[in-house]
Structures are given as C-alpha cells and as structure tokens.
Amino acid sequence: MSDNKSNNRNKNIIEKIRNYDFKKAKEKTVTFLKLKKTIFILFFVYLISLLLMAGFWPVFYIFCFIPSLIALFTYKKWQK
C-alpha cells in the first residue's frame, strides 16, 4: 500500500516537472533582475540627493526617502 502511494507521488512530481512552464519562469527572472537594477539606481539617487539636499528635509522626504522605501518593500515582496 505504501509503495503504491509513493509511486503515485513520484508520478505526480514527474508530471509537474513535465508541465512546468520554463518560459514563464525565465520571464519572472528577467523581470526580477530589471527590478533589482531599478532598486540600485534608486538607492544611488537617494544617496546623491541626501548629500545635495541635507538641509532641506521636506523635499528630501518627498522625492528620495519615500520612493526608496517603496522600492525596498517591492524588493522584499519579490524575494518571497
């Protein structure tokens, strides 16, 4: 009985591998790499603007801090 269950489980796993859409997985990977690149660009913009607008904090928060937080949370969401 247990051999029959394990055979069925193995067949199900093999079937899932055969039906796996590698093209879709590749698209997700490419999208993730683009997102990662965007996040690094935003981070560098954040650092540069931190140096430029150190005295003017409202503009800094609106244009730099909030977008970098959004990028950070998006990155964490994609990591899951």
Q: pLDDT tens-digit profile of 14-73?
A: 787 777 777 777 676 677 777 778 888 888 888 777 777 666 666 666 777 777 778 777
Where are any strands of DSSP class E within 1-80? none
Is this structure's pTM higher than 0.95? no
What are the tokens at 33?
């790499």
* Residue 16 included in any domain: no
Write out the residue range of the structural domain in which residue 58 sits.
22-79
* Residue 50 included in any domain: yes
* Residue 27 included in any domain: yes
* Residue 5 included in any domain: no
* Residue 2 included in any domain: no
What are the tokens at 76?
């964490």
CA separation for the pair 61, 46 (Å, rounded): 10
* Residue 26 included in any domain: yes
Provide the domain count of the chain.
Answer: 1
